[in-house]
Amino acid sequence: MREMGEIALPPSASVKGGPAASGGGWPPTPWSLIRRARDGPESGTRRLALERLVEQYYVPIRRFLSRALGVGDDRAGDVAHDLFAALLERDFLQAIRHETSFRGFLKVVCRRHCATWRATDAASRRALHAAALGRALPDDAALDDAVDEELRRFYVDEAVRRLRERLLRCRKREALAIFEARVRFDGSRPEEYRVLAGRFGKRMYDIRNQLSATRKLFRRLLLTIAGERADDPRAELRDLGLHRYLAQ
């Protein structure tokens, strides 16, 4: 399959995912896209399905490949390009069944693609950093963990991006500032309620209520993002260890 040449990869910094980004009308989960890619005509439908899969997974897969193979973002983007092309080969897709976890299937694809890249692509091996030459590829469990870690990072980053966009569009800068001061995804110490109350001239009770409303919006956005990639978004978040954000 060589339809990938017709597809512009998303920018490395971010991908604006979600149904609206593809013009609407597409089913929300990868399984529907896989069926369209597998059963659709060689051009058109398959190409659009591939574009949507790239839109949904390019950033976390590129970041995973960069870490696993020890290459820069540009080179990892080229390898990701090849991975998505291989992903939608007809013969490869025939073995996929809906009951299979798509995330689990994606991890198998990533493991195989890493091994193939390291074993057969001499040009790619030369692209490795000097310190990485001869380094053994991480074992399957470590590669699987790396894929999950990048997906966790992507889900949270994308939920924060959409939250920020929504709040700024609604002119709720104060709500955004309170959320960012209290919800620390990097593990740093959150700002105390009394400090926030003094900064914004509000009672701590009001700060807590405003934060609660913003957290509810963040949870909805996180579920939406998971729902765009899995039939059971709560199970997807639970398996990735992100369910704790749903209970806040």
Q: Which of 82-96, 102-116, 133-147, 164-178 has the highest mean pLDDT?
A: 164-178
Same domain as 154, residue 127: no
Given 137, 159, 180, the domain boundary residue is: 137
Q: Rounded to a whole number, what is the largest CA-CA distance in the chain? A: 64
Q: How far apart are CA 46 and CA 59, in angstroms?
A: 21
Among 106, 137, 168, where does a domain finish? 137
Regarding whether 201 and 79 lie in a shared domain, the answer is: no
Tell whether 33 and 128 lie within a shared domain: yes
The sign one gets for the Cα dihedral 141, 223, 14, 58 is: positive
| Residue 245 pLDDT grade (very low, low, confident, very high; cuts 50, 70, 90) | confident
> Which domain-ending residue is among 88, 107, 137?
137
Q: What is the pLDDT of residues 42-77, one digit of tens each?
A: 656 667 777 777 888 899 999 999 988 888 888 888
Residues 33 and 91 in one domain: yes
Do 10 and 132 fall into the same domain? yes
Question: Does one domain contain both 119 and 218?
Answer: no
pLDDT of 229 > 60? The answer is: yes
Tell whether the model's pLDDT for residue 105 goes beyond 60. yes
pLDDT classification of 26: cutoffs 50, 70, 90:
very low
Residue found under tokens 């109350």: 197
Q: Which residue has the higher pLDDT, 39 or 147?
A: 147
Q: What is the mean pLDDT of the chain?
A: 78
Is the same domain home to 212 and 229?
Answer: yes
Range of the domain at 230: 146-247
Structural domain total, the chain: 2
- Shared-domain flag, residues 69 and 91: yes
Q: Structure pTM?
A: 0.77
Question: Residue 184's pLDDT is what?
Answer: 87
- pLDDT tens-digit readout, 81-102: 888 877 766 556 666 665 567 7
In this structure, the answer to whether residues 98 and 64 fall within a common structural domain is yes
